[in-house]
C-alpha cells in the first residue's frame, strides 16, 4: 500500500512530462519494458527537474533521442554558462534564445540565419512524436527574405515537404503550412514568380482554383517575359495541355 502514492505520483509526472512535450501518451505502462520505464524516468528528470545526470551529453552532437515503445522524442542540448541546458527540439524560443542556426552555401560565399528544422530531412522530422508544425511555420516566418539564398533554402524545404505530402496525402496539414509560408514570402517578395507558382501548385493539391485565382495566374503569366520552365509551370497550373506540350518541346530542344 505504501507504494501506491509513489506510483500515482509517477503516473502524474509522466502525464505532465508528455504534455509539456506536446505528445499524446497512450502506451500501456504495464506492457512497457524495464528499459522503456528507465527511459521515461530519465525523460521525466530531464523535462520536469532539469536533471541531466543520466544523459550522455556531447557538444559535437546536440540531439538526444528517446525511443519509447512506438514513440520517438527528440531533445536539443547546449552548453550555457559552463553548464548544460536540454529542452524540446520544438521549443523554438529556447533554441533562438540560446543558439544561432547559420546556413552556409557550399562555396561558403553566402550565409544566413535560418530555421533549425532545416537540419533534418522531411521524413525524419515527421517520424518525431514531438513534431509541431506550428513551430516549424513560426521558425520560417522569422527569416528575413531579402536575398535569394534565404528564399532558396525555404523553397527547397517546402518543395521537399510537398513531395512528402504526395506520398502521405492524409497529412492535409502540410498543405496549410506550405500555403501559409508561401503567402508570407509573397508579402516580402511580391514579384517572386516562383513563390507565387509554388503556392498555387499547393492550392491545386488542396482544391479547385476559384475564378479569381485563375485570372491571377493568367495575369501573372502575361505580365512579363518568362523562361520556358516557368511557362511550362503556368500551363500546368492552367491545365493547358496543348500549350504545355508546345512549350515543353521548346524546353527539350
- Same structural domain, 177 and 144: yes
- Same structural domain, 4 and 91: yes
- Same structural domain, 28 and 65: yes
Q: What is the pLDDT of residues 192-219, one digit of tens each?
A: 999 999 999 999 999 999 999 999 999 9
Split into its structural domains, the chain has a count of: 3
Q: Is 135 within a domain?
A: yes
Residue pair 161/169 in contact by the 8 Å Cβ criterion: no
Q: CA angle, corner 213, sides to 242 and 145, nearest 5?
A: 105
Domain span at residue 136 reads 115-207
Q: Is 109 within a domain?
A: no
CA distance 57 to 86: 9
Q: Is 52 within a domain?
A: yes
Q: What is the pLDDT of residues 41-53, one digit of tens each?
A: 999 999 999 999 9
Q: Is 143 within a domain?
A: yes
DSSP state of 185: H
Instruction: Reply yes or no on whether the pLDDT at 28 is more than 70.
Output: yes
CA distance 227 to 181: 24
pTM score of the predicted model: 0.91
Q: What is the pLDDT of residues 61-77, one digit of tens each?
A: 999 999 999 999 999 99
Q: CA angle, corner 121, sides to 87 and 111, nearest 5?
A: 80
- Same structural domain, 146 and 165: yes
Which residue, 6, 80, 57, 69, is CA-closest to 32?
69
- Same structural domain, 119 and 180: yes
- Same structural domain, 176 and 230: no
Amino acid at each position: 500500500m505504501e507504494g501506491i502514492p509513489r506510483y500515482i505520483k509517477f503516473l502524474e509526472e509522466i502525464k505532465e512530462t508528455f504534455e509539456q512535450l506536446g505528445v499524446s501518451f497512450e502506451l500501456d505502462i504495464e506492457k512497457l519494458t524495464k528499459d522503456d520505464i528507465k527511459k521515461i524516468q530519465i525523460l521525466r528528470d530531464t523535462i520536469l527537474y532539469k536533471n541531466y545526470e543520466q544523459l550522455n551529453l556531447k557538444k559535437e552532437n546536440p540531439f538526444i533521442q528517446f525511443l519509447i515503445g512506438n514513440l520517438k522524442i527528440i531533445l536539443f542540448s547546449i552548453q550555457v554558462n559552463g553548464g548544460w541546458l536540454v529542452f524540446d527540439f520544438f521549443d523554438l524560443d529556447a533554441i533562438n534564445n540560446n543558439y544561432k542556426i547559420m546556413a552556409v552555401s557550399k562555396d561558403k560565399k553566402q550565409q544566413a540565419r535560418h530555421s533549425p528544422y532545416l537540419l533534418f530531412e522531411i521524413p525524419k522530422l515527421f517520424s518525431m512524436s514531438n513534431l509541431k508544425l506550428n513551430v516549424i511555420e513560426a521558425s520560417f516566418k522569422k527569416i528575413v527574405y531579402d536575398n535569394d539564398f534565404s528564399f532558396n533554402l525555404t523553397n527547397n524545404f517546402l518543395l521537399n515537404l510537398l513531395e512528402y505530402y504526395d506520398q502521405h496525402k492524409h497529412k492535409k496539414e502540410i498543405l496549410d503550412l506550405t500555403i501559409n509560408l508561401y503567402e508570407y514570402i509573397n508579402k516580402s517578395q511580391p514579384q517572386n514568380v516562383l513563390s507565387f507558382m509554388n503556392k498555387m501548385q499547393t492550392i491545386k493539391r488542396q482544391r479547385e482554383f476559384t475564378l479569381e485565382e485563375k485570372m491571377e495566374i493568367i495575369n501573372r503569366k502575361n505580365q512579363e517575359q518568362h523562361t520556358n520552365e516557368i511557362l511550362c509551370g503556368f500551363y500546368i497550373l492552367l491545365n493547358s495541355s496543348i500549350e504545355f506540350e508546345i512549350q515543353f518541346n521548346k524546353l527539350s530542344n
